[in-house]
Chains A and B, each alone.
Chain A
Amino acid sequence: MLRLEQLSKNFGGLPALSQVSFEVFPGQVTALIGPNGAGKSTLINCMTGVLQPSSGRVLFRGAAISSLAAHQIARCGIARTFQNLKLFPRLSVLDNVLTGLTCEAGSSMVMAMLRLPYLRHRERRLRLRALEALDRFGLGDKADWPAAVLAYGDKKRVELARATVGNPQLILLDEPVAGLNAAETAAVGEQLHLLRRAGHTLLLIEHDMDLVMKLADQVVVLDSGQKIASGTPAEVRRNPRVLEAYLGCMEATA
């Protein structure tokens, strides 16, 4: 479904990604793991047009998307969340989630002005869907709050609702449970399981190994910008290079 070919990214001469290639298969959860600074966030920034890759290609359903603008990539059906939250702080929680339906809303000025009845009907349906998405993440009662005043865990879940509400073909999640408490982590984990069971394709960056091992069909391991291993969770767990680069230090700190 999504293929990276020799993707590289330099920041002022310093390589953050070198020649990373792998594939995300439809209906699967692919986990991307690696120690801090490995280049995971940089990778999905390059995939979503937030950053321009220095070289290499990203193919989505066979078409190169690496030269497209971020909004065009989103319109191909790729949604994402950010590690350090990118909500619309001044908008209400409901409006934040509604923006996740931009690709379906159609924002022609003339159409918006004419306010045809069938459009009004469609807008009502979109609002209902946004409210349902908020309910799924337990935020239904905060729909009218400005996003800026929410607690961290709630903000994180608003972003998840925004990324999933439009049924995108591919969802990229950058550390969805980082900073959440145990109860919130369990609730988000539950939602990710539901997404997986519903056949969604996910690329999941996460340091929570429990979650990764339970959810992932395939694990890709990044270290210092290079792919050092990939395979099933069980395979990766046994890989000595991974243990050395990543799991070892995680267990030491855990």
Chain B
Amino acid sequence: MPELADFLQYSFSGLTSGAIYALIALGFCVVNNTMGIVNFVQVDFVSLGGMLMFSALFALGLPMVPGVLLAVAGVALVAMLVERFGLRPARSENPLVLIFLTVGLSIILRGLIKLVWGKNRMALPPLTPDLPLEFFGASLLPQALWILFLTLIAIVLLLWFFYRTPLGLSMRAVASNSTAAAVVGIPAGRVRLTSYAIAGALGGLAGVLVTPITTLNYDVGVLLGLKGFAAAILGGFGSFPGAILGGVGLGLLESLSAGYLSSAYKDVVAFVVLLLVLFVRPKGLLGK
């Protein structure tokens, strides 16, 4: 049954890119929920994740697992520096000012990445050797399975952190009412720093996972980040389930339209559907 094999193949590749969009979308949501802004540096967290992975493997000679951990932690650290030294000194609560700052910081970070790693395309090996597995006639790359598995782990950890730890409660409180959060003693600064660390880790993980499939260069995160942003809006900006649904929905739309219509139109189809959804539901699929 070639039809079934095709359908599985398209769905599977849609799920894979959808998982990446979902990770990036969750990063956008975390910062939006605690600071009320769109953090455009998110796109560069993705590129930086791939770059740090590259250096961990080839400059430091680390094995895969420590390499992934180092890359993700490294991006989280850079994200914290971005908040602490890029946004906080502005001492502004004005979302427009802060969003503009993230645009500027994104350009600066991209410049620094270009300076350190150069403009050339690089190749990152997949987490495990690339022998495709057969599944009802569709072939699955192990890297794609890793993407789905690690995305799932990241989502579980994220929910556990937000709903089961005191700091997670503080973060939900700030997102729900920042004045009330301040008068019960929650330090907004620490919450913002944490939200950047989490956004960095999510973006970094997305970069580590996706760059073996795409290629790696200093601005690989820009287009992916835009898709992640679109996924977050599609799901309802700020909603975690919405970000996941939006990411997977966008990924599936892209790959199904590429498969059944034409790959030349996959972005067009995806964004036309995005617009239609927003016309019908301006707050996104799961927005409040």
Does B168 lie within 8 Å of A50, measured CB to CB? no
CB-defined contacts of B165 to chain A, threshold 8 Å: 112-113, 115
CB-defined contacts of A82 to chain B, threshold 8 Å: 180
CB-defined contacts of A135 to chain B, threshold 8 Å: none
Does A99 lie within 8 Å of B181, measured CB to CB? yes
Report if B120 contacts A (CB, 8 A).
no
Give complex CA distance A159, B11 in Å.
49
Report if A157 contacts B (CB, 8 A).
no
Interface of B is mostly: helix
Does B173 lie within 8 Å of A99, measured CB to CB? yes
Give complex CA distance A79, B184 in Å.
7
Does A70 lie within 8 Å of B182, measured CB to CB? yes
- Give B182-226 as 1s and 0s: 1 = Cβ < 8 Å from A's Cβ atoms: 111111101000100100000000000000000000000000000
Give complex CA distance A115, B194 in Å.
17
Does B183 lie within 8 Å of A86, measured CB to CB? yes
Give complex CA distance A89, B178 in Å.
12
CB-defined contacts of A102 to chain B, threshold 8 Å: 166, 170, 184-186
Q: From A3-11, A103-111, A191-199, give the one contacting chain B.
A: A103-111
Give complex CA distance A41, B252 in Å.
54
CB-defined contacts of B194 to chain A, threshold 8 Å: 109
Give complex CA distance A162, B183 in Å.
11
Does A74 lie within 8 Å of B167, measured CB to CB? no
Does B190 lie within 8 Å of A107, measured CB to CB? yes
Report if B161 contacts A (CB, 8 A).
yes
Does A74 lie within 8 Å of B183, measured CB to CB? yes
Of the residues B176, B177, B185, contact of A74 by C-beta under 8 Å: B185
Q: From A24-32, A90-98, A235-243, give the one contacting chain B.
A: A90-98
Give complex CA distance A89, B194 in Å.
22
Give complex CA distance A90, B169 in Å.
11
Q: With A106-B166, A107-B166 known to touch, is A71 a contact of B185 (CB < 8 Å)?
A: yes
Give complex CA distance A162, B186 in Å.
13
Within 8 A of B (CB), among A12-39: none
Report if A233 contacts B (CB, 8 A).
no
Give complex CA distance A161, B197 in Å.
32
Does B177 lie within 8 Å of A89, measured CB to CB? yes
Q: Measured between C-beta atoms, what is the minimum distance from B220 to chain A in Å?
A: 29
Does A99 lie within 8 Å of B170, measured CB to CB? yes
Size of interface on A: residues with Cβ below 8 Å to B: 35
The residue of chain B having its C-beta at the shortest distance from the C-beta of A172 within the complex is B183
Within 8 A of A (CB), among B135-169: 161, 165-169
Report if B84 contacts A (CB, 8 A).
no
Does B183 lie within 8 Å of A112, measured CB to CB? no
Of the residues A50, A91, A100, contact of B179 by C-beta under 8 Å: A50
Report if B266 contacts A (CB, 8 A).
no
Of the residues A90, A105, A107, contact of B176 by C-beta under 8 Å: A90
Give complex CA distance A49, B12 in Å.
53
Give complex CA distance A105, B179 in Å.
19
Within 8 A of A (CB), among B113-151: none
CB-defined contacts of A108 to chain B, threshold 8 Å: 167
Chain A contacts to B: CB under 8 angstroms: 48-50, 69-75, 79-80, 82, 86-91, 95, 98-100, 102-103, 105-109, 112-113, 115, 123, 162
Known: A102-B186, A113-B165. 18 other contacts (CB 8 A): A49-B182, A70-B179, A71-B181, A71-B187, A74-B184, A87-B180, A89-B177, A91-B173, A95-B169, A99-B181, A99-B184, A105-B169, A106-B166, A107-B166, A109-B167, A112-B161, A112-B167, A113-B161
Q: Which 6 A-B pairs have the closest CB atoms?
A: A74-B185, A70-B182, A88-B176, A86-B180, A112-B165, A105-B166
Q: What are 27 A-B pairs with beta-carbon distances under 8 A? A: A50-B179, A50-B182, A70-B179, A70-B182, A71-B183, A71-B186, A71-B187, A74-B183, A74-B185, A79-B183, A80-B183, A86-B180, A87-B180, A88-B177, A88-B181, A89-B177, A91-B176, A98-B169, A99-B169, A99-B170, A99-B173, A102-B186, A105-B166, A107-B190, A112-B165, A113-B161, A115-B165
